[in-house]
Amino acid sequence: MAARRRTDDFEDDGRVIADMSAVERPSLLGHAPQRGSVRPFEQRERRPKIELTTKERIWLALGALKAGLTIGCIYVVFLGVVIVALIALWTTLSGTH
Protein backbone atom coordinates (compact mmCIF):
# COMPACT_ATOMS: atom_id res chain seq x y z
CA MET A 1 0.00 0.00 0.00
CA ALA A 2 1.42 3.34 -0.99
CA ALA A 3 1.91 6.02 1.64
CA ARG A 4 -0.39 9.01 1.41
CA ARG A 5 1.06 12.45 1.03
CA ARG A 6 -0.41 15.55 2.54
CA THR A 7 -1.84 17.83 -0.07
CA ASP A 8 -2.25 20.89 2.13
CA ASP A 9 0.72 23.18 2.69
CA PHE A 10 1.68 23.42 6.36
CA GLU A 11 3.29 26.61 7.51
CA ASP A 12 4.75 26.94 11.02
CA ASP A 13 4.08 30.35 12.51
CA GLY A 14 6.45 29.79 15.45
CA ARG A 15 3.88 30.04 18.25
CA VAL A 16 4.28 27.66 21.20
CA ILE A 17 1.00 26.01 22.15
CA ALA A 18 2.34 23.95 25.05
CA ASP A 19 5.96 23.90 26.18
CA MET A 20 6.81 20.22 26.59
CA SER A 21 10.56 20.68 27.06
CA ALA A 22 10.42 19.89 30.81
CA VAL A 23 8.38 16.69 30.40
CA GLU A 24 10.41 13.54 30.84
CA ARG A 25 9.51 10.25 29.23
CA PRO A 26 8.22 7.83 31.90
CA SER A 27 10.15 4.64 32.43
CA LEU A 28 8.23 1.38 32.18
CA LEU A 29 10.71 -0.47 34.36
CA GLY A 30 10.87 2.00 37.23
CA HIS A 31 14.40 3.23 36.57
CA ALA A 32 15.46 6.79 37.06
CA PRO A 33 15.09 9.05 34.03
CA GLN A 34 18.15 9.22 31.81
CA ARG A 35 18.14 12.97 31.45
CA GLY A 36 19.69 15.23 34.06
CA SER A 37 18.81 14.73 37.70
CA VAL A 38 17.48 18.29 38.07
CA ARG A 39 14.33 19.35 36.27
CA PRO A 40 14.47 22.79 34.69
CA PHE A 41 11.50 24.27 36.59
CA GLU A 42 11.61 22.50 39.92
CA GLN A 43 14.24 20.97 42.11
CA ARG A 44 13.93 17.22 42.53
CA GLU A 45 14.04 16.13 46.17
CA ARG A 46 17.17 14.28 47.16
CA ARG A 47 16.71 11.01 49.00
CA PRO A 48 19.53 9.25 50.78
CA LYS A 49 20.55 5.96 49.22
CA ILE A 50 19.47 3.05 51.41
CA GLU A 51 22.06 0.35 51.89
CA LEU A 52 20.62 -2.96 53.08
CA THR A 53 22.51 -5.93 54.41
CA THR A 54 21.85 -9.41 53.06
CA LYS A 55 19.93 -10.34 56.20
CA GLU A 56 17.70 -7.26 55.88
CA ARG A 57 16.99 -8.06 52.22
CA ILE A 58 16.01 -11.62 53.15
CA TRP A 59 13.65 -10.32 55.85
CA LEU A 60 12.11 -7.86 53.38
CA ALA A 61 11.55 -10.65 50.85
CA LEU A 62 10.05 -12.92 53.49
CA GLY A 63 7.74 -10.12 54.67
CA ALA A 64 6.51 -9.54 51.13
CA LEU A 65 6.02 -13.29 50.67
CA LYS A 66 4.06 -13.49 53.92
CA ALA A 67 1.81 -10.62 52.84
CA GLY A 68 1.17 -12.24 49.46
CA LEU A 69 0.42 -15.63 50.99
CA THR A 70 -1.95 -14.05 53.51
CA ILE A 71 -3.94 -12.34 50.77
CA GLY A 72 -3.89 -15.54 48.69
CA CYS A 73 -5.22 -17.57 51.63
CA ILE A 74 -8.03 -15.07 52.17
CA TYR A 75 -9.06 -15.47 48.51
CA VAL A 76 -8.94 -19.29 48.76
CA VAL A 77 -11.05 -19.33 51.94
CA PHE A 78 -13.57 -16.91 50.44
CA LEU A 79 -13.81 -18.97 47.27
CA GLY A 80 -14.25 -22.14 49.34
CA VAL A 81 -17.09 -20.56 51.33
CA VAL A 82 -18.79 -19.45 48.10
CA ILE A 83 -18.48 -22.94 46.60
CA VAL A 84 -19.88 -24.61 49.74
CA ALA A 85 -22.76 -22.11 49.81
CA LEU A 86 -23.55 -22.75 46.14
CA ILE A 87 -23.45 -26.53 46.62
CA ALA A 88 -25.77 -26.22 49.63
CA LEU A 89 -28.14 -24.02 47.63
CA TRP A 90 -28.08 -26.43 44.69
CA THR A 91 -28.84 -29.47 46.83
CA THR A 92 -31.64 -27.60 48.60
CA LEU A 93 -33.25 -26.46 45.37
CA SER A 94 -32.89 -29.80 43.59
CA GLY A 95 -34.60 -31.67 46.46
CA THR A 96 -31.96 -34.39 46.87
CA HIS A 97 -30.15 -34.82 50.12
State pLDDT tens for residues 41-75.
555 566 778 888 999 999 999 999 999 999 999 99
Looking at residue 83, its pLDDT comes to 98
In the chain, % of residues over pLDDT 90:
40
State pLDDT tens for residues 27-46.
666 665 555 555 555 555 66
Looking at residue 2, its pLDDT comes to 58
Looking at residue 17, its pLDDT comes to 81
Looking at residue 39, its pLDDT comes to 53
33: Cβ contacts below 8 Å, ≥ 6 apart: 24, 25, 27
Spatial CA neighbour of 86 closest among 33, 25, 78, 22 = 78
Spatial CA neighbour of 21 closest among 41, 3, 5, 2 = 41
At 72, phi and psi to the nearest 5? -60, -40
